[in-house]
Amino acid sequence: MRTALSVSLALLLAACAGGPAAPDWQVNSLASLKNFEAAYFAGNTRAADAEFARARADLASTGRAELVARAELVRCAAQVASLAFDDCPGFRALAADAGAAERAYAAYLAGAWQGLDAGALPVQHRAVVTGTGELPPDPFARLVAAGALLRAGRIAPAGIAAAVDAASANGWRRPLLAWLGVQEKRAADAGDADSAARIRRRIELVSGGGK
């Protein structure tokens, strides 16, 4: 099943899949999580927060902490994709009731890769940790992987360019601005004034200043 939330949402789907008739909490929570991603990547924080709150409430109605923990990982992944790093407090509060796969994914998002079991990660992200350097093809997963690589101090210039391209191709304003900011700083630090200026013009265009 193809979803905009890609690998991150697959953690939730794996837990929810089952009977032929999906209960309301499952249908509603998945819809709200998709809407959360769209609003968050568009830069609409208020709408994103409201959609996530609805998803979380639907999942909490089951009394299954592991489902809420997986939803929190979806939110953390969107933040990492947009370079909004924190310690994922929503997941941390539920980590004791999460499984090994969820804890591994949380460590991956945090850039805490020392001793990380790559085999416990979603398939698309395993090669990122094992060092093949191949980013996932799915745009959401690609941005998440690039953010995790940046956080771990392992990203290459090609990875930054790939993240910019993925965000741009999908019209995802928030991550695009974040990654363009990384590109601009690197160009400026390298003394490449022309490239830095070109990237700044692009940032102004995306943020509305280029009208």
Segment 58-85 shows an average pLDDT of: 94
Q: Where are the domains of the chain?
A: 6-156
pLDDT band at 131 (very low <50, low <70, confident <90, very high): confident
pLDDT band at 2 (very low <50, low <70, confident <90, very high): very low
Residues 77/138/6/169 CA torsion (nearest 10 deg): 80
Tokens coding 15: 């837990």
Is the per-residue pLDDT at 4 higher than 90? no
Query: Does the predicted TM-score (pTM) go above 0.75?
Result: yes
Contacts of 197-203 spanning 24+ positions with Cβ under 8 A: 203/177
Tokens of 76: 């953390």
Enter the tokens of residue 107.
Answer: 């460590």
Q: Is 46 helix (H, G, I), strand (E, B) or coil?
A: helix
Residues 6+ positions from 24 with CB-CB distance below 8 Å = 58
Q: Is 70 exceeded by the pLDDT of residue 19?
A: no
Taking the C-alpha atoms of residue 146 and residue 151, their distance in angstroms, rounded to an integer, is 9
What does the alpha-carbon distance between residue 192 and residue 190 come to, in Å, rounded to a whole number?
5
In sequence order, what DSSP letters do the residues of 136-168 get, joined into one string?
A: PSSHHHHHHHHHHHHHHT---HHHHHHHHHHHH
Mean pLDDT of 182-207: 97
Residues 6 or more apart in contact with residue 170 via CB below 8 angstroms? 41, 139
CB 69 within 8 A of CB 55: no
